[in-house]
Amino acid sequence: MKKGMHPEMKLISVKCTCGAEHKFYSTKDNIKIDLCSSCHPFYLGDASSMIIDTEGRVQKFRNKYGDNY
């Protein structure tokens, strides 16, 4: 490996447009993100109905075919 080919990983804080701050390791100093775990729809409840819907489908499948599939 040549010298300088490995950028140093460091703990940085990333600010999201929602105001939440997240820390993770990166080679870059400043990162700004538009979505994070705090404001992404997946975590806000929109998708929780999708998860419930998915579970409902699994339940329907089990009701139809039983547990021994």
12 binds Zn ion (CB under 5 A): no
Q: Give just the sign of the alpha carbon dihedral 60, 62, 65, 69.
A: positive
Site for Zn ion in 26-45 (CB under 5 A): 36, 38-39
Taking the complex as a whole, the smallest distance from the CB of residue 43 to Zn ion amounts, in Å, to 9
3-state SS class at 50: helix
Task: Out of 18, 31, 50, 52, point to the residue binding Zn ion (CB under 5 A).
Answer: 18
Q: Give just the sign of the alpha carbon dihedral 28, 32, 38, 41.
A: negative
Shorter beta-carbon distance to Zn ion: residue 27 or 37:
37
